[in-house]
Structure 1
Amino acid sequence: MDIFLMIIGILYLVALFFFIDFSFGRKIHLEKLKLQYFPDRHSDIQMFTSGPELFADLFAEIKEAQKHIHILFYIVKKDRISSDFLSLLKKKADDGVEVRLLLDWVGSWKAKRSISRELQGSKVQLVFCKPPRPPFFFYTFQVRNHRKITVIDGKIGYLGGFNIGKEYINLDTKLSPWRDYHLKIGGEGVQDLQHMFLRDWGEAARVRLTQNKAYFPRLEKGKYRHKVIPSEGFYLEDTFSDLINSAKQCIMIGTPYFIPGRKLFRDLQSAVKRGVKLEILVPSNPDHALVKEASYRYLRKLLALGASVYQYQNGFYHSKILIIDNKVCDVGTANFDKRSFYLNHEMNCYMYDTHFIEEIRGVLKQDQSEAKLISKSDISMLNPWTFCKEMVARSVSFFL
Structure 2
Amino acid sequence: MNFGWILLAIIAGLALWIYTDFLLGRKKHLANAKTNTLPIRESNLAIFAEGPKLFDDLFSELKKAKQHIHILFYIVQDDKISQEFLSILKEKAKDGVEVRLLIDWVGSGLKRKTINSLKSAGIEFAFSQMPKLPFLFYSSQVRNHRKITVIDGQIAYLGGFNIGKEYNNQDPKLSPWRDYHLKMTGEGVADLQSEFLEDWHAAAKVNLLQNKAYFPALEKGKIRQQLVPTEGILLEEMMSDLISKAKASIFIGTPYFIPSKRVFNLLRNAITRGVSVTVLVPLVSDHVLVKEASYPYLRTLIKDGAEVYQYLNGFYHAKVLMVDDEVCDIGTANFDKRSMFLNYELNCLIYDGDFIKKVKRIMTEDIMNSRKAALDDFNRALLKEKAASTISYFL
Q: TM-score, normalised by structure 2?
A: 0.98
Partner residue of 2:64?
Answer: 64
Indicate yes or no: 2:100 matched with 1:88: no
Partner residue of 1:221?
Answer: 220
Q: Which amino acid aligns with 1:85?
A: F
Structure 1 residue 15: deviation in Å?
Answer: 1.6
Partner residue of 1:203?
Answer: 202
Partner residue of 1:192?
Answer: 191
Partner residue of 1:398?
Answer: 393
**For residues 173 and 343 of structure 1, do their structure 2 counterparts lie closer, same or farther at Cα, with a shift above 3 Å needed?**
same
Q: Which amino acid aligns with 1:397?
A: S
* Residue pair 1:86, 1:118 contacting (<8 A) in 2 also: no
User: Residues of 1 paired with 2:377 and 2:67: CA distance?
Assistant: 54
* Residue pair 2:74, 2:147 contacting (<8 A) in 1 also: yes
Structure 1 residue 33: deviation in Å?
Answer: 1.8
Partner residue of 2:46?
Answer: 46
Partner residue of 2:319?
Answer: 320
User: Gapped runs of 5+ residues in structure 2?
Assistant: none
Structure 1 residue 44: deviation in Å?
Answer: 0.6
User: Residues of 2 paired with 1:131 and 1:23: CA distance?
Assistant: 19
Q: Which amino acid aligns with 1:129?
A: S
Query: Paired residues, what number?
Result: 395
RMSD across aligned positions (CA): 1.2
SS of 2:120's equivalent?
coil
* Residue pair 1:130, 1:144 contacting (<8 A) in 2 also: yes
Partner residue of 1:29?
Answer: 29
User: Residues of 2 paired with 1:157 and 1:206: CA distance?
Assistant: 23
Aligned mate of 1:387, from 377, 382, 395:
382
Structure 1 residue 193: deviation in Å?
Answer: 0.2
Partner residue of 2:303?
Answer: 304
**For residues 266 and 114 of structure 1, do their structure 2 counterparts lie closer, same or farther at Cα, with a shift above 3 Å needed?**
farther
Q: Percent identity?
A: 55
User: What do residues 68-99 of structure 1 show as CA deviations (whole Å, max 9, x unaligned)?
Assistant: 00000000001011111111101001111110
- Within 5 Å, give how 1:12-27 maps onto structure 2: 12-27=12-27
User: Residues of 1 paired with 2:279 and 2:59: CA distance?
Assistant: 33
* Residue pair 1:78, 1:114 contacting (<8 A) in 2 also: no
- Within 5 Å, give how 1:265-344 maps onto structure 2: 265-344=264-343
Structure 1 residue 396: deviation in Å?
Answer: 0.6
User: Gapped runs of 5+ residues in structure 1?
Assistant: none
Q: TM-score, normalised by structure 1?
A: 0.97
User: Residues of 2 paired with 1:297 and 1:2: CA distance?
Assistant: 42
Structure 1 residue 359: deviation in Å?
Answer: 1.4
SS of 2:218's equivalent?
coil
SS of 1:183's equivalent?
strand
Structure 1 residue 31: deviation in Å?
Answer: 0.9
Partner residue of 2:133?
Answer: 134
- Within 5 Å, give how 1:141-180 maps onto structure 2: 141-180=140-179
User: Residues of 2 paired with 1:270 and 1:232: CA distance?
Assistant: 27
User: Residues of 2 paired with 1:281 and 1:20: CA distance?
Assistant: 37
User: Residues of 2 paired with 1:366 and 1:116: CA distance?
Assistant: 39
Q: Which amino acid aligns with 2:383?
A: C
Q: Which amino acid aligns with 2:53?
A: E
User: Which stretch shifts more, 129-138 or 115-124?
Assistant: 115-124
User: Residues of 1 paired with 2:7 and 2:296: CA distance?
Assistant: 31
* Residue pair 1:257, 1:335 contacting (<8 A) in 2 also: yes
**For residues 112 and 27 of structure 1, do their structure 2 counterparts lie closer, same or farther at Cα, with a shift above 3 Å needed?**
farther
User: Residues of 2 paired with 1:42 and 1:207: CA distance?
Assistant: 30
User: Residues of 1 paired with 2:236 and 2:78: CA distance?
Assistant: 34
Indicate yes or no: 2:71 matched with 1:76: no
Structure 1 residue 112: deviation in Å?
Answer: 4.1
User: Residues of 1 paired with 2:9 and 2:266: CA distance?
Assistant: 39
